[in-house]
Structure 1
């Protein structure tokens, strides 16, 4: 009987781990790279709720995204903001950082998810923002 209980517990934990992550993405209606970033998220197992917005500045302000970290689209997952072209892997890492309000890839660096053009990649950083407003580097991607 005990092996069945262990197996049931294992199956239960696997089904929880397999549940898709849902992210709300707010974007301008005319932005192509935003759609490409959404595709990147979907390709990496995220369920995306796509919100077309006419005033992205208001969305960013409401979510607490500082202007210095701004990009073209803003996501929200588990109460944390995701600003710009943050790779899916870094979004998953952010889930383990409840001390952060969110993460950002400022600007629109070539080679970041949604900004792929051939084999060119600019160096860029994924920056976390804590509750006191301090920034910290979560990940760095070198140029090639």
Structure 2
């Protein structure tokens, strides 16, 4: 009886440790997200928490004005929101779901970045009672946009 318990416990422990290792390895593969936001933006802080909950490491940079960062990163004026992030070689503008960021990193499309324009209710960091439909847009360095994901 004791040997059976020990064998089962050992097997469960090995499986738990293996699963923890797989999760840690998957999360370790995610690059750090650098988020540029104004110091007082509460919805931006909620979006950062959304990314962290999805396994991203996030570094926050507070700026009073994000215009120069957006211009430098070639975010189309029609795709702006309240925060700008850099992850790997890409720009992420606005309340983009973490799943879309992971899709971007996995698929590696030849684009400059992705964006959720404005601040749609129901997007990460903008949770609310009456969620709106919104699109995550892909954008090129030349400013052309296309739908990356629908929500």
| Runs of 5+ consecutive residues of structure 2 not aligned to the other structure | 1-21
Higher mean displacement: 128-137 or 21-30: 128-137
| Contact map agreement 2:35 2:85 (CA 8 A) in 1 | yes
Instruction: From the two aligned structures, give the one with the greater helix fraction.
Output: 2
> 2:118 maps to what in 1?
107
Instruction: From the two aligned structures, give the one with the greater strand fraction.
Output: 1
- Separation of aligned partners in 2, 1:131 and 1:74: 15
- Root-mean-square deviation (CA), in Å? 2.0
What whole-Å deviation, never above 9, does each CA across 1:58-94 have from its counterpart, x for those lacking one?
A: 1111111111000000010012100000000000111
> 2:65 maps to what in 1?
55
Runs ≥4 residues deviating over 6 A: none
Q: TM-score, normalised by structure 1?
A: 0.83
> 2:26 maps to what in 1?
17
Give the aligned length: 130
- Separation of aligned partners in 2, 1:77 and 1:100: 13
